[in-house]
A = this chain, B = another copy of it.
Amino acid sequence: MPDFLVEFDPDGRQAYISEQDNLLQAIAAAGIPLKASCGGKGTCNRCKTLVRAGKVKSAASGKLTEAELAAGYVLACQSTPESDLVLEVPEESRLSEHRVVLDGLPAGESNAILPEDEGLCKDGECDPLFKKIVVRVPGPTLEEAEDDLGRLFRVLRKQIGADHLRADLETMRSLPAVLRQSGWQVAVSLTEARGYKAVGVEEVEPDGLARKYYGLAIDIGTTTVVVHLVDLETGVSLGVKGTYNRQAIYGDDVISRIIHAVENKDGLRELQKAVLATINELTADLLREHDLKATDVRVAVCAGNTTMTHLFLGLDPAYIRLEPYTPAANSIPALRAHRVGLKIYPQAWVQCLPGIASYVGGDITAGVLVTGMAFSDQMTLFIDIGTNGEMVLGNKEWLISCACSAGPAFEGGGVRHGMRAMRGAIEHVRIAPGGMVVDFTTVDSAPPVGICGSGLIDCIAGLYSAGVIDRSGNILPDLKTPRVRESDEGMEFVLAWSHQSGRKVDITISEAEIKNLIRSKAAVFAGVNSMLKMVGLPLDAIERVIIAGGFGRYINIKDAVGIGLLPDLPLEKYTYIGNSSVKGAKMVLMFRRAREEVEEIARKMTYLELSAGNTFMEEFVSALFIPHTDLSLFPSLQPQ
């Protein structure tokens, strides 16, 4: 089977693919970030690519307009090569850099440290997973000639209060000479994984420790990946970087990714390579900026949802998707970096935060850790809304969690003009009564090119309060505004006219999309209510609501309550904590208390499988109205 050479213009990149590979694979191999929300199924229509030279065979060309076909566009996922090719991936088909919540604050505003309450390391306050400490070891005498390793351990036991001490072969090999050359004062590198292990010993230089070592805290999100490069002595994040997860080319949501892994021979390996490439590239950038080497990084802590953790480690994700939704592993033992494929010190430990179930993963455990709710008296609701809505309810007595498939709507998926919170995304919308006038703001105040999750919530709330849609999401007939019109796919509402738009087309939202969004918000609310029912508590028993995740950063809580996505509680009970996944990973990296707490959280948290009973379906159906069938649940929205 011949290999064809595919060149990319103007990128200047190349890839070889064989006859039966599709162009998506060439684009992936060349490392060009392409939109492929549907994961190569030929349904999302986003991977349009221009064939500049050569011949391809395309299925599903009916999805493209005549003009596009004439210009030489194909859908990359539906096309295979018949000769060497020159391709151009147009700007609109590319994933562009978008706002990534690196921490508690939006990118650029980040001060790159743990929030105040976590603090930096003060003397003796932090106990990172990898640390270097200076010890003075008493020399042996004829009366007391214990072995060198025993002497070192004796001192360490006293100095760090560690009981279980081990050492690697290299440390044992160099110990006798280093101890004697250094006059019995040495710097010992220690990792904490199943007790302490000495993984290095070196002379102390006159001006203190010889070489400093670093750690990584990593959030592996379905959409974005964030890496903190952390100084293990101070806890300061020297640098923080985030970007889209390169797995995006295999689909927007975890289900498409699992399908790709299961249905393709090398699918799992491809997904694993993609996320490793993402993390390794972010890490390499951070190291370059700080003039450090890969081997200076001696430990990494990762938090991700269960599917992301599986794909990162190459674990079989097939049964996550199939009833009864069983992950391969929730609690992952510490693994060596070289086994995992992280390009840091090969023997470095990589620790993944434990998950609870197929749809409540280590990112949620991390979030619960950061909120402190597992050790608080206050009844707290933690919500992370992304492609899935994951929720945890509880306090120091108990924790209950659940997940509902919110669909990718709130991340801009499944909506024709939906997009992530990138430049030009409509993020806030106000609609005047009757729907004649629409005010909006966009990310970076750029000309509008689409609408992101927070914009969609505003939009539903605005359309409802402006009287454009009814409580079920139907667009009302006989409205006087030209913004309401009939299209091929039913009724739609124009948010921005083509003359305002950065895309030369009207930006619209259809009735079907509105109903889809109502289903998403209903799923989230029904999840919250199912948990409350299970423990027999009313809505107002919730004392705090903590919102996490990239999406939560930009939403208007009042509007989210208005459409019935979030419970109707006083606004002051709501807090936003940003990327709690990476924050939790960093806490685990730096503090032993956090490591103990995260274990306890994982043990303590029960999981409510919403598909296992009837409560959720009832709750869901009741929530398919704006804001809800039972208006008594939303007292603040009642006419006073």
Instruction: Give this chain's copy count.
Output: 2
* A1 part of interface (Cβ distance < 8 Å): no
Residue of chain B at shortest CB distance from A177: B316
* Contact yes or no, A172 B611, CB < 8 A: no
User: What B residues does A612 contact at CB under 8 A?
Assistant: 142-143
Contact indicator A328/B609 (Cβ below 8 Å):
no
Size band of the A side of the interface?
Answer: 35 or more
8 Å CB contacts to B: which residues of A306-341? 313-316, 318-319, 323-333, 335, 339-340
B contact residues around A315 at 8 Å (CB): 172-173, 176
Chain B residues within an 8 Å CB radius of A176: 315-316, 318-319, 326, 328
What is the CB-to-nearest-CB distance from A397 to chain B, in angstroms, rounded to a whole number? 22
Is the C-beta of A140 less than 8 angstroms from some C-beta in chain B? Answer: yes
**CB of A116 within 8 Å of the partner chain:** no
Q: Are A329 and B167 in contact (CB under 8 A)?
A: yes
Check A166 for interface membership: any CB of B closer than 8 A.
yes
Q: Is the pair B194, A148 in contact by a Cβ cutoff of 8 Å?
A: no
Contact at B148–A326, with CB atoms within 8 Å? yes
Most chain B CB within a 10 A radius of its CB, from A166, A172, A318: A172
Closest to A194 in B: B194
Chain B positions within 8 Å of A399 at CB level: none
Give the residues from 136 to 182 in chain A that come closer than 8 angstroms, CB to CB, to chain B: 140-143, 145-151, 164, 166-167, 169, 172-177, 180
Closest B residue, CB atoms, query A141: B324
Which of B149, B326, B332, B609 contacts A331 (CB under 8 A)?
A: B149
Taken together as a complex, chains A and B put the C-alpha atoms of A331 and B609 apart, in Å, by 49
User: Digit string of A595-634 for contact with B (CB within 8 Å is 1, else 0)?
Assistant: 0000000000001010110000000000000000000000
The distance from the CB of A270 to the nearest CB of chain B, in whole angstroms, is 15
Instruction: Given A142-B611, A329-B150, decide whether A169 and B316 contact each other with a Cβ distance below 8 A.
Output: no
Residue of B140, B143, B314, B326 near A145 (CB, 8 A) is B326
Q: In the bound complex, what is the Cα–Cα distance between A313 and B316 (angstroms)?
A: 37
Q: Which residues of the other chain, B, contact A607 by a CB distance below 8 angstroms? A: 145
Give chain B nearest CB distance to A302 CB in angstroms.
Answer: 14
Kindly name the residue among A164, A331, A335, A339 whose own CB sees the greatest number of chain B CB atoms within 10 A.
A331
Nearest B residue to A325, CB-CB: B145
Given contacts A194-B194, A332-B172, contact A326 B147 (CB under 8 A): yes
Q: What's the nearest-Cβ distance from chain B to residue A145, in Å? A: 4
* A358 contacts partner chain B, Cβ-Cβ < 8 Å: yes
| Bound Cα distance A141, B355 (Å) | 18
Residue in B175, B319, B323, B331 whose CB lies within 8 Å of A142: B323
Q: How far is the CA of A340 from the CA of B172 in the complex (A)?
A: 13
Among B140, B142, B174, B330, the residue within 8 A (CB) of A147 is B330
**Per-residue interface assignment for chain A, residues 330 to 367, with 1 indicating a CB less than 8 Å from any chain B CB and 0 otherwise:** 11110100011000000000000001011000000000
Say whether A333 contacts B166, CB under 8 Å.
yes
Contact between chains at A331 and B611 (CB < 8 Å): no
What CA separation (Å) do A150 and B612 show in the bound complex? Answer: 20
A166 to B319, CA, bound (A): 21
CA distance A325 to B176 in the complex (A): 12
Residues of B within 8 A of A140 (CB): 324, 326
B residues near A330, Cβ cutoff 8 Å:
146-147, 149-150
Shortest distance in angstroms between A375's beta carbon and chain B's nearest beta carbon? 24
Give the Cβ gap from A616 to chain B, nearest Cβ, in Å. 12
Smallest distance from the beta carbon of A362 to chain B beta carbons, Å?
A: 12
**B611-A169 in contact (CB<8A):** no
Asked if B145 contacts A175 (CB within 8 A), the reply is no
Instruction: Determine if B319 and A173 form an interchain contact, defined as CB atoms under 8 angstroms apart.
Output: no
The answer to whether B328 and A175 touch across the interface, beta carbons within 8 angstroms, is: yes
17 extra A-B contacts, CB within 8 A, seeds A149-B330, A173-B316, A175-B316: A140-B324, A142-B323, A142-B325, A142-B611, A147-B327, A147-B330, A147-B331, A147-B355, A147-B357, A166-B194, A169-B314, A169-B335, A172-B328, A175-B328, A176-B326, A177-B318, A194-B194
Q: Show the binding face of A for B, using Cβ within 8 Å.
A: 140-143, 145-151, 164, 166-167, 169, 172-177, 180, 194-195, 313-316, 318-319, 323-333, 335, 339-340, 355, 357-358, 607, 609, 611-612
